[in-house]
Structure 1
Amino acid sequence: MKKVYVLDTNVLLQDPHAIYSFEDNEVVIPAVVLEEIDSKKRYMDEIGRNARYVSRLLDQYRQKGKLHLGVQLEHGGTLRVELNHKSYQKLQDILVEKTNDNRIIAVALNLLDEFQTKGEHVPVILVSKDALVRVKSEVFGLQAEDFLSDQVIQYSKSYTGYMTVNVEKEKIDLFYSQQYLEIASLSFTQHWYPHQFIVLKDKYGSSSSAIGRISLDKQRVLPLKQHNEEHVWGVKARNVQQKMLIDLLLDDQIPLVTITGKAGTGKTLLSLAAGLLKIEDEHKYQRMLVARPVVPLGKDIGYLPGEKEEKLRPWMQPIFDNLQYLFHTKKAGDLERILAGMNKTIEVEALTYIRGRSIPDQFIIIDEAQNLTKHEAKTILTRVGEGSKLILMGDPEQIDHPYLDESNNGLTYVVEQFKEYAISGHVKLEKGERSQLAQLAAKIL
């Protein structure tokens, strides 16, 4: 049985190709959705780009037929712009205000009522990224769904970068003695990824354990580098996952490192420490570029007073806090004098200003990457020049972008797309190390 899917504006602004996601069913776009898309076309961010794309796409189909009557889609199904079912009579007693959301619900409800009047059992489904729109729809007996085609994977099932394997103590001892372990000897059926970490634990419960990393040919487990026992620019790993992260950050053969984890797990601090070590001590890179999105990415920050540096300071303060810790500054102005004396070796920038640049021979840290869309993540990765190392980090459970969630954001997308490739490594930090209070708050609140 064919179905009718009525699309909310946020579905098209999140994924402009959404009209192709409903197989051979009918896709209906209410006229009010066109009005909302038109109001977003002038935005200079990702939402504006998608609004303009949807506008051009609809104009292409307009040339193939009358949109209000319906046109065929290439991959099956039909597309129609709905003009005739905008009556608000069924909702006006309960939803008094004629908001755009309520008008979209009214269109879907009137379509369903028309089918029922004709005696036709055609399912009408309202598709929206807005939870309250879905709730209100079902109050009126209208079927509603979230748009899930843009999701990469459920975050709870996403790649963590490591796995715990229980083995005999003899194998752990063998790993330490010969400095490797054959994957085949684990007797553990698993699809391994390059640079994936393995925590070996004694299956009989002793305290014996080891940490290893999958080799590029995925045939052996290799030990971590010796630098994990040392301080990295005054910072030492406090838990297993932080040891894994340092191993990735200091490996010059891995140009892309992705990090996920809650606030306080050490993502930013360890990345900055590794960057300073590589730039100041080893001179591997020319400088370090640290950026984070001014949410949403592309939003103009000109309303703040002062020069660009003064405008950026409130958004970049978490970066400066970590730098103050690493440089052990106590007095106001000390950090600024240190950074000025380093001749701009460290550049702290808003992600807004990265577009259009080519960035070679730099240690690049992108904080709060969970607020990036897939397209924005692609834009950043394609800016990376020869000899650079890119660190993408964030907490997919803490997203400020109105059209993103933990399953469809750019950080989750990059983690899943790159896990099969040897040029990247990933680790999910589990344990908070900011303070005992912060760790407890993250756990129970």
Structure 2
Amino acid sequence: MILVDTSVVLDSPEILLDQDTWLVRETLDELDRLKTHSGTKGYLARHAIRYIYDIKFNRFVNTPSNVRGESVDKVFIAIAGNKANSFNISNIKLKDFNLANYLRLEGIEVEVIETKKDIPEAYFFENLNNEQIQEILNSNFTTIKHTRPNQYGIINPEQGSILAFNKEGKVRKIRERVLHISNSACVNARNKEQVFLMDSLLNTDIPLIMVSGPAGTGKTLMTVACGLHSVLRGDYKKLLILTPPVHVGNKDKLGFFPGNKDDKLRNYFGGARDALEYLLGDRWDKDYADFIDFESTTLTRGRSYRNAFIMLDEGQNTTPEEMLTLVTRVGEGSKLVVAGDPEQSDISRSLCNTGLGAVITAMYDSKEAIYLEMYKPLRSNLVAEATKRFREANV
């Protein structure tokens, strides 16, 4: 009998297909608490719950009566202590080294599993002393001990937060900005994640930005706005918008649309086209056609994009192979923004099987890249409410 911790189920639910693998019922409780969380943990919990249901998993160890309803860690320790009383556990698989130490004290064989699929936390949270606070307020810079090459975060989150960007331990304060795109449209950040996103999009030193989050969080509008701003001020020669030609549910094919290639592709860029119309007016495709272009991800092999601001929308609908092809097309002087919603993939229920998940996992700690996560839908009250309720219903 192999007992598996909740963290392993989140990371590798397919491990439950092994007939020697068992769970404690408290793992279901933990998954239930996690499923309503925003971000990656919530997504993985909802995926694991559905997976357990789909494979009809029913191998659960009886919890000792004195720890029923407690945390999985406490249940594991109690089971290890009661190993002589009818438990036939040959191994426990988990990710927590300290819990492994406790269990070994009870003579249980433990295997610590390395993380495979967990998307890292996007932001850091750091408490600084008064001297460092004054330093960052006066000069906009201070230093911290931090290992991520590029990361946004919050300084002193519990007492007058400061939004900051960390580059290899050197931290600067972020200033909020308002972008005037045209005479009638301007864009400003409406929450801290949008402040982070706008700052990264306008930073020409980072060539790869990866941003995930649910619908309505501003991923497309903010990226298109900052891309336009950057092109108009001369940082790049053109704005290139890419998307995979995948329908909702992946049920139709590109060829079913009438017309030539450009006519067919037009149907896949609704979000970006809506953003362009909002920012530039309904004549944008005539007045700004010289530096705005659209392309399907299926047509990028062999290309080399130089001096371009490139946005990939709906990144969750690319495969890891397609994502690698695209990232390796980015030439000198270009910037690539990969945006997507892990919960709305039409090609895979598993985040690790999508290009979005693959590129974040591979590149989050690269000096050439930065990862951001958007949390709160701002499109309308309906979008926010629907996102919350569908998560709770585990849809």
Shorter-chain TM band: 0.5 to 0.7
Change in Cα spacing, 1:164 to 1:440, as seen in structure 2 (3 Å) is farther
Shift of 1:152: 4.3
Amino acid of the structure 1 residue aligned with 2:239: M
Over aligned residue pairs, what C-alpha RMSD do you find? 3.0
Report whether the alignment pairs 1:411 with 2:356.
Answer: yes
Q: Please show how residues 15-414 of structure 1 align to structure 2 within 5 Å.
A: 135=55, 152-154=116-118, 158-167=119-128, 171-184=132-145, 192-201=147-156, 203=158, 206=159, 208-215=160-167, 218-224=168-174, 226=175, 228-231=176-179, 233=181, 234-280=186-232, 282-295=233-246, 301-327=254-280, 329=281, 334-335=282-283, 338-401=284-347, 403=348, 405-414=350-359
C-alpha distance in 2 between matches for 1:409 and 1:263: 17
Matched-pair identity in %? 33
Task: Output one character per residue of 1:153-189: Cα deviation in whole Å (capped at 9) or x when no partner.
Answer: 13xxx224312234456643442123222215xxxxx
SS in 2 for 1:265: coil
Change in Cα spacing, 1:232 to 1:394, as seen in structure 2 (3 Å) is farther
Task: Output one character per residue of 1:199-258: Cα deviation in whole Å (capped at 9) or x when no partner.
Answer: 01264xx4x12011112xx2322122x4x3332531001111111111111111111111
C-alpha distance in 1 between matches for 2:55 and 2:228: 50
The aligned counterpart of 1:440 is: 385
Shift of 1:380: 0.5
Q: Is the 8 A contact 1:339 1:345 kept in 2?
A: no
C-alpha distance in 2 between matches for 1:153 and 1:441: 27
TM-score by structure 2 length?
Answer: 0.65
Shift of 1:137: 9.8
Change in Cα spacing, 1:386 to 1:178, as seen in structure 2 (3 Å) is closer
C-alpha distance in 2 between matches for 1:390 and 1:343: 20
Task: Output one character per residue of 1:24-47: Cα deviation in whole Å (capped at 9) or x when no partner.
Answer: xxxxxxxxxxxxxxxxxxxxxxxx
Shift of 1:424: 0.8
Unpaired runs of 5+ residues, structure 2, are 2-14, 16-49, 60-112, 391-395
Q: Is the 8 A contact 1:167 1:202 kept in 2?
A: no
C-alpha distance in 2 between matches for 1:132 and 1:198: 35
Q: Is the 8 A contact 1:367 1:394 kept in 2?
A: yes
C-alpha distance in 2 between matches for 1:386 and 1:379: 16
SS in 1 for 2:268: helix
Unpaired runs of 5+ residues, structure 1, are 2-21, 23-129, 140-148, 185-190
SS in 2 for 1:213: strand
Larger Rg: 1
Shift of 1:134: 6.3
C-alpha distance in 2 between matches for 1:347 and 1:251: 22
Task: Tell me the matched-pair count.
Answer: 284
Amino acid of the structure 2 residue aligned with 1:270: M
Task: Output one character per residue of 1:106-131: Cα deviation in whole Å (capped at 9) or x when no partner.
Answer: xxxxxxxxxxxxxxxxxxxxxxxx96
TM-score by structure 1 length?
Answer: 0.58
Change in Cα spacing, 1:444 to 1:165, as seen in structure 2 (3 Å) is farther
SS in 1 for 2:337: strand
C-alpha distance in 2 between matches for 1:379 and 1:202: 39
C-alpha distance in 1 between matches for 2:343 and 2:365: 24
SS in 1 for 2:338: strand
Change in Cα spacing, 1:441 to 1:223, as seen in structure 2 (3 Å) is same
Amino acid of the structure 2 residue aligned with 1:396: P
Amino acid of the structure 2 residue aligned with 1:365: M
Q: Is the 8 A contact 2:150 2:365 kept in 1?
A: no
Change in Cα spacing, 1:245 to 1:232, as seen in structure 2 (3 Å) is farther
C-alpha distance in 1 between matches for 2:345 and 2:52: 18
Change in Cα spacing, 1:165 to 1:133, as seen in structure 2 (3 Å) is closer
Shift of 1:366: 0.4
C-alpha distance in 2 between matches for 1:414 and 1:209: 30
The aligned counterpart of 1:37 is: none
